[in-house]
Structure 1
Amino acid sequence: MTGELSHLSRDGEAHMVDVGDKAVTRRTARATGAVRMAPATLDLILAGNAKKGDVVAVARIAGIMAAKRTHELIPLCHPLPLTQVTLEIAPDPALPGLRVAATARVDGRTGVEMEALTAVSVACLTIYDMAKAVDRGMVIEAVKVEEKTGGRSGDWHAPEHGP
């Protein structure tokens, strides 16, 4: 860690980082999260019986769309020409609930961690929205960056022991 926040000037004012002199490299980021719910809610989703439709399919599309609009949602983020965004949504009966993972990729001058995090967050919010009629007690949890590659700082992987 550098110990400095890149979006703050010496006077503490927020600003957009100038990435114009950075090299264009392939950059990826993977983020994960989960929606914990009642076992019956998970069963309902997996059976395709949610009143609003296919929860997993809609959440996947919502996450991809959100990644592409991250710069409109998060102040000071650069608009990026994403080359790929993938979302994996898998049931986890032990949770119980759905685990969500997003991978974002760009050939650019800045990283895509925020895009991956936004994809996961919006996918989880969509799951909640589509199933809240039967389970308002769902919990969105453990949203985090798992790894990132590329750029001047190189590759990074989350520690195995947690955040």
Structure 2
Amino acid sequence: MMSTNFNHFDSKGNAIMVDVSNKDETTRIAIAKSSIRTNKEVYEQIINHQNKKGDVLGVARVAGIMATKQTSQLIPMCHPIAISNVEIDMQWRDSESEEHILDISVKVKTKSNTGVEMEALTGASTSALTIYDMCKAVDKGMVIGDTFLDYKSGGKSGDYQRNS
């Protein structure tokens, strides 16, 4: 079992930003996933490019990329880091029902002394939220699914792969 080290606190229990200046600069990659469940009308509007607000998946992809770059402004203890690459993949699951699920995968890469897990998670969440925002006039019952870290590499803690 891996030990848990909460190092965002000083000796008095005050919140601090972790000092990463002594950590090695390595290539770091993180992949986070999320999903959104829509009704058939939203699904058809998206795939047929008929949403009145525009290209839903294109806008969601740009929002996800922008969010990865802004993570340190949203999450208090995240370090601002230079993002080398962001790839966002969105795929509809095969579904015979009236509900349709769009899977979102966000891969973030950097060469830094701190990881990009939070950036990938923020990108996945923001992509899903953007889809909700653009389609809520048609279906307020959309459900954003589990959002989680699927993979990470680089850094002191090494590689991680989520067990499905």
Q: 1:39–1:97: 8 Å Cα contact kept in structure 2?
A: no
Equivalent positions of 1:95-110 (< 5 A) are 96-110=100-114
Q: 1:39–1:93: 8 Å Cα contact kept in structure 2?
A: no
Residue 15 of structure 2 aligns with which residue?
14
Q: 2:41–2:138: 8 Å Cα contact kept in structure 1?
A: no
Cα offset for 1:41?
A: 1.3
Normalization by structure 1: what TM-score? 0.94
Cα offset for 1:97?
A: 2.3
Equivalent positions of 1:13-162 (< 5 A) are 13-94=14-95, 96-160=100-164
In structure 1, distance between residues paired with 2:103 and 2:12? 41
Normalization by structure 2: what TM-score? 0.94
Percent identical residues = 43
Cα offset for 1:11?
A: 2.8
Could you list the runs of 5+ residues in structure 2 that have no partner in the other structure?
Answer: none
Cα offset for 1:115?
A: 0.3
Cα offset for 1:86?
A: 0.9
Q: 2:28–2:154: 8 Å Cα contact kept in structure 1?
A: yes
Cα offset for 1:123?
A: 0.5
More deviation in 68-77 or 1-10? 1-10
CA offsets 1:68-123 (integer angstroms, 9 cap, x no match): 01001110110001100111111124361211100000000000000000000110
Q: 1:84–1:105: 8 Å Cα contact kept in structure 2?
A: yes
Cα offset for 1:13?
A: 1.6
RMSD: 1.1
In structure 1, distance between residues paired with 2:102 and 2:163? 22
Cα offset for 1:5?
A: 1.0
CA offsets 1:26-53 (integer angstroms, 9 cap, x no match): 0000000000111221111111110100
**Paired AA for residue 82 in structure 2:** P
DSSP 3-state at the match of 2:88: strand
Paired residues, number? 160
